[in-house]
Amino acid sequence: MGFGTDCIHAGQSSEPTTGSVAVPVFQTSTYEQIGIGQHRGYEYARTQNPTREAFERSVAALEGASEGIAFASGLAAIGAITQLLSSGDHVVCTDNVYGGTYRVFDQLYRRLGITFSFVDTSDPQNIESAWTDATKMLFVESPTNPVLSITDLSVAAEIAHSHGAFLAVDNTFMSPFLQRPLGLGADVVVHSTTKYINGHSDMVGGIVVTSDESIHERLRFLQNAAGAVPGPWDCWLALRGIKTLHIRMREHEKNARVVVAMLSDHRSVQKLYYPGLADHPGHEIAERQQDGFGAMVSFDVGSLDRAQKVVQAVKIFTLAESLGGVESLISHPAAMTHAAVPKADRDAMGVTDGLVRLSVGIEDAEDLVDDVRNALEVIS
């Protein structure tokens, strides 16, 4: 089936009792059992929920995975992947990951005995150099949040597998419409479903997908045993969002290209980050492994004061954390999403005080371009 057909139908067949075409919200905490040890496949809603199962089947199908395991947030999903490891294990991780990912690795899992090397994974040599005998997981974000650095996922998979480790990829910025890492050799893919998958900025959720039966079994155990499950309403909202994922992603990218074209000529923009630009590092890899370049755009205006003026001058873009919704958002990564990353590390990665990040929405492109251009006039 085509991707659009799968968005609308995969995992979402009519409900068998009534024929309800829309997957119902099974808003229950428990299920009647027929007798001791006898039930209908559903015992307790942390363990099983039909709305959640439909959501898991849907995202798994879009990513080309056999299984999806949903969590209460993207970070809960990333936490579950990390809980596959044990004290003493080591992780090689992309340095420019979402700040919350860095924070949970650095401030929680490090304390529990897992060690991390944060390196620029866009150069495979850095991955090899950081590798130790204890390395069990390579965790890659590509494109990264917020400087959109690209890692060759096939090469990353080869390195991880050659050492008997597994590759986890955070695919949040692309959505399965633009990139399917399992087909490039990744073992697990994680999404903050809060973002493009839901697409409407009205829920928080996460999911891990995999076709590896052993990883699936252990994640399914963790989902129930650790219990960071999403509620049925949030799964339903995300399922409803998925029905238009293909249409939204096309519009997001179309708009982003128009905004990038304006920014690339603007005298107040000192540095522009967008993987669709021919001179963006890793552009050729992105062209090969992605089906498009997405709608996340970052640019540096040179100082905190200038960034402050820009984020306050926009009228359609909203100053807010998060991304991937139909409405355009603007953010200041150094003070917002990446505040937990030490300043020296932020600066080294390009997450400077002058960096501004756009999540380009699906409003009319001309309005978005005018809005950002007018805001830049304030500092010109």
Residues of the shown chain interacting with ligand P1T in the complex, contacts defined by CB under 6 A: 73-75, 98, 100-101, 141, 145, 170, 172-173, 192, 194, 204, 206, 321-323, 331, 337
**Residue with Cβ nearer ligand P1T (131 or 294):** 294
Min dist CB 178 to ligand P1T, Å, is 14
Give every CB contact of residue 380 below 8 A, 6+ residues apart in sequence. 267, 268
Paired with 272 in beta bridges are: 299
Q: How far apart are the first and last CA of the chain?
A: 50
Determine the residue with CB nearest ligand P1T. Answer: 74
Number of H helices, E strands in the chain: 14, 12
Q: Produce one character per residue of 268-282: b if its CB has 16 or more CB atoms within 10 Å, e if not.
A: bbeebbbbbbeebbb
Q: Which of 186, 203, 157 is nearest to 51 (CA)?
A: 203
Min dist CB 322 to ligand P1T, Å, is 5
**Residue with Cβ nearer ligand P1T (127 or 197):** 197
Distance CA 258, CA 297 (A): 11
Instruction: Please give the biggest Cα pair distance in the chain.
Output: 74
Half-sphere exposure (CA, 13 Å, Cβ side) for 249?
A: 26
Min dist CB 77 to ligand P1T, Å, is 8
**Residue with Cβ nearer ligand P1T (47 or 322):** 322
Options 136, 195, 248, 306, the catalytic residue: 195
| 170 a catalytic residue | yes
Options 6, 89, 95, 170, the catalytic residue: 170
Min dist CB 146 to ligand P1T, Å, is 7
| 250 a catalytic residue | no
Options 31, 42, 44, 46, the catalytic residue: 46
**Residue with Cβ nearer ligand P1T (170 or 187):** 170
Q: What is the DSSP letter of 379?
A: T
| 123 a catalytic residue | no
The total of other beta-carbon atoms located within 10 Å of residue 18's CB is 8
| 98 a catalytic residue | yes
**Residue with Cβ nearer ligand P1T (131 or 331):** 331
Min dist CB 73 to ligand P1T, Å, is 3
> CA dist 154 to 34, 97, 218, Å?
49, 19, 25
The residues that are catalytic are 46, 98, 170, 195
